[in-house]
């Protein structure tokens, strides 16, 4: 690695997945929706590819528009005063919530929040701004989520679109446990528009004359690239609808489903082609949206949700020793990289010993931080055990 990375570069390095949300905004901009176009014109569009008008792009745009429109309809319908948009990506959902005079909590990874909060500011008036709150979270990290909602009073309605496909089963369980705990405390519900997001695209593609199975395979392959990992056992990519439902029930949720076209009666960009819109909306009758509520029983009574992160650095001869404890995830991995970069700028070392005895959890973002340190130095991990040891070994680390 060359020069010292700045804060923004560190955030991008530990979680490149944010880019998928920019791609969603770019696809949605093709609908011509003025809020979307305003936001699209205001984000940093470096590296965003030009989009064609081919059937695959059209399919993605229509499917995303259906999801975006559904988000707004749910926000309108809910009687909860607080809407939690997780993950908010770069969409202008804050404008809709604020126009409805509902509190809006846009949650996403730090790299996204840094940019979207500034973009949103340009398009909100002073009254609307009082409804809108953006916070950096990692959905697997309970403290970050609880902290984001620290000023909330009243029930929350979490409207989720475009997240669950990024998680292996262990991370998915953490996300579910975190949301279960939040819903148990605040009350409210959790809408999931992505229970069948690959099927939604496949059905749209079929209605445009394409082959359903081809779209399913394309999406599975594309999601693997975005997740930057082997995602074949990710439940919301590879699992069946029934397995997904059972997983949620096992996490202590009651799951109700309704067909996509129950709320969605219009796809605005297809208004000039009513026959196609009708066909697509009718086909969406096969696709489920879910609304989950937390049962009073949950298996997390003994779980310690507040596993914070700590790091200690010491230098002797050529060796930098690092001891880390708690959770190394999207929120905490930048802290580790930042401290490492400071050490590199001021000290000379060629070897790193990382003591992972008290590391409770490591995510892909954490692994990326370790990869960067490993690329620059001779790198040894000592004392890792349990699930952390398993993940490190699966990712090519030889631990002692
Ligand atoms: C496909 S985008 C969807 C964003 C938005 N809902 C939309 O429809 O455009 C996926 C989003 O998930 C966010 N994300 C990925 N992993 C996350 C995590 N662990 N916690 C919170 N957000 C995460 C990414 O930063 C990205 O903004």
Query: In a 3-state reduction of DSSP, which class is residue 297?
Result: coil
89 occurs within a structural domain: yes
Domain assignment present for residue 258? The answer is: yes
Rounded distance, CA 261 to CA 12, Å?
A: 37
Residue nearest to atom 22 of ligand 1 (CA): 108
Which of 14, 15, 16, 21 best tests ligand 1's pocket when mutated (most atoms within 8 Å of CB)?
21
- Residue ending a domain, among 294, 321, 354, is 294
Element (H, E) at 254: strand 253-259
Give a yes or no: residue 304 inside a domain.
Answer: no
Q: Is residue 234 part of a domain?
A: yes
Lowest mean pLDDT among 229-238, 285-294, 306-315: 229-238
> Which one has a higher pLDDT value, 237 or 296?
237
pLDDT single digits (tens) 115-132:
999 999 999 999 999 999
Cβ of 163 closer than 6 Å to ligand 1, yes or no, is yes
Could you tell me the two tokens for 93? 């959902």
Whether residue 76 sits in one domain with residue 195? yes
Distance from C-alpha of 27 to C-alpha of 306, rounded to nearest angstrom: 38
Cα separation, 29 vs 182, whole angstroms: 33
pLDDT bucket at 17, cuts 50 / 70 / 90? confident
- Categorize the per-residue pLDDT at 1 as very low, low, confident or very high, splitting at 50, 70 and 90: very low
Q: Is 303 inside a domain boundary?
A: no
Domain that holds residue 348: 310-394
Domain of residue 321, CATH code:
3.30.750.24
Distance from residue 175's CA to the centre of ligand 1 (Å): 13
Query: What percentage of residues in the chain have a pLDDT greater than 70?
Result: 95
For a ligand 1 pocket test, name from 69, 163, 227 the mutation site with the most ligand atoms within 8 angstroms of its C-beta. 163
Same domain, 13 and 37: yes
Contact 354, 389 (CB under 8 A): no
In angstroms, what is the span from residue 114 Cα to ligand 1's centroid? Answer: 14
Same domain, 251 and 367: no
Query: Which residues on neighbouring strands pair with residue 107, listed in sequence order?
Result: 135
Residues 179, 241 within the same domain = yes
pTM: predicted TM-score of the whole model, two decimal places? 0.91
Nearest CA among 93, 115, 122 for reference residue 105 = 93
166 lines ligand 1 (CB under 6 A): yes
259, 294, 329 — which closes off a domain? Answer: 294
216 contacts: CB under 8 Å, gap ≥ 6: 198, 199, 202
DSSP track, 136-200: E--TT-HHHHHHHTTT--S-EEEEE-S-GGG--HHHHHHHHHHHHHHHHHH-EEEEES-TTHHHH
- Considering the domain architecture, whether residues 198 and 317 belong to the same structural domain is answered as no
Q: SS3 breakdown of the chain: % helix, strand, coil, rounded to 5?
A: 50, 20, 30
CATH number at 78 reads 3.40.50.150
Number of independent structural domains in the chain:
2
The model's pLDDT over 303-347, given as tens digits with 9 standing for 90+, comes to: 777 778 999 999 998 999 999 999 999 889 999 999 999 999 998
Establish if 302 belongs to a structural domain: no
Quick one: 271 and 333 in the same domain? no
Q: Does any ligand 1 atom lie closer than 6 A to the CB of residue 366? A: no
Ligand 1 centre to CA of 74 (Å) is 19
Higher pLDDT, 4 or 197: 197
Q: Is the CB of 161 under 6 A from ligand 1?
A: yes
- The answer on 288 and 227 residing in a single domain is yes
Number of the ligand 1 atom closest to the C-alpha atom of 24: 9
140 lines ligand 1 (CB under 6 A): yes
Q: Do 95 and 203 have their domain in common? A: yes
Decide which of 248, 264, 294 is a domain's last residue: 294
Are 169 and 223 found together in one domain? Answer: yes
Greater confidence (395 vs 92) lies with 92
Q: Is 40 helix (H, G, I), strand (E, B) or coil?
A: helix
Burial of 238 (0-12, 13-18, 19+ CB in 10 A): middle
Question: What mean pLDDT, rounded, does the chain reach?
Answer: 92
- Regarding whether 334 and 270 lie in a shared domain, the answer is no
Task: Tell me, yes or no, whether 315 and 205 share the same domain.
Answer: no
Looking at the predicted structure, is the pLDDT value of residue 19 above 90? no
Confidence of residue 113 (pLDDT cuts 50, 70, 90): very high
Q: Is 330 in the pocket of ligand 1 (CB under 6 A)?
A: yes
Percentage of the chain exceeding pLDDT 90? 76
Question: Residue 26: what pLDDT?
Answer: 96
Q: Is 3 a residue whose pLDDT tops 60?
A: no
Pair (326, 234) in one structural domain: no
3-state SS track over 304-370: CCCCCCEEEEEEECCEEEEEEEEEECCCCHHHHHHHHHHHHHHCCCCEEEEEEEEEEEECHHHHHHH
2 lies in a domain? no
Q: Does the beta carbon of 138 lie inside 6 Å of ligand 1?
A: yes
Assigned domain for 200 exists: yes
């Amino acid at each position: 690695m060359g020069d010292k990375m700045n804060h923004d570069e560190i955030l991008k390095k530990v979680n490149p997945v944010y880019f998928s949300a920019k791609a969603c905004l770019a696809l949605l901009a093709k609908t011509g929706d003025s809020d979307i176009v305003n936001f699209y014109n205001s984000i940093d569009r470096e590296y965003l590819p030009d989009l064609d008008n081919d059937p695959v792009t059209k399919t993605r745009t229509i499917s995303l528009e259906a999801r975006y429109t559904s988000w707004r309809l749910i926000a309108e319908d809910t009687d909860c005063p607080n809407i939690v948009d997780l993950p908010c990506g770069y969409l202008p959902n804050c404008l809709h919530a604020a126009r409805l005079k509902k509190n809006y909590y846009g949650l996403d990874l730090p790299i996204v929040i840094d940019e979207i909060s500034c973009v949103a500011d340009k398009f909100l008036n002073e009254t609307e701004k009082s409804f809108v709150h953006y916070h950096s979270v990692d959905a697997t990290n309970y403290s970050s989520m609880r902290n984001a909602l620290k000023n909330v009073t009243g029930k929350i309605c979490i409207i989720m679109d475009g997240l669950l496909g990024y998680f292996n089963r262990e991370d998915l369980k953490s996300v579910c446990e975190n949301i279960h705990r939040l819903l148990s405390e605040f009350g409210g519900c959790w809408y999931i528009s992505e229970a069948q997001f690959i099927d939604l695209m496949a059905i749209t593609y079929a209605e445009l004359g394409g082959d359903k199975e081809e779209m399913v395979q394309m999406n599975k392959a594309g999601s693997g690239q975005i997740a930057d990992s082997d995602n074949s056992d990710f439940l919301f990519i590879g699992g069946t609808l029934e397995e997904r439902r059972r997983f949620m029930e096992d996490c202590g949720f009651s799951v109700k489903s309704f067909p996509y076209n129950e709320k969605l009666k219009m796809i605005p960009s297809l208004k000039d082609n009513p026959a196609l819109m009708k066909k697509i909306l009718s086909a969406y009758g096969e696709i489920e949206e879910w609304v989950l509520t937390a049962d009073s029983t949950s298996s997390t009574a003994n779980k310690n949700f507040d596993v914070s992160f700590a790091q200690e650095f010491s230098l002797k001869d050529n060796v930098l020793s690092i001891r880390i404890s708690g959770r190394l995830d999207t929120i905490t991995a930048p802290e580790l990289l930042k401290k490492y970069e400071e050490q590199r700028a001021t000290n000379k070392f060629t070897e790193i010993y990382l003591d992972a005895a008290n590391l409770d959890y490591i995510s892909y973002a954490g692994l990326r931080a370790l990869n960067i340190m490993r690329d620059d130095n001779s790198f040894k991990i000592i004392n890792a055990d349990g699930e952390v040891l398993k993940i490190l070994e699966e990712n090519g680390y030889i631990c002692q």
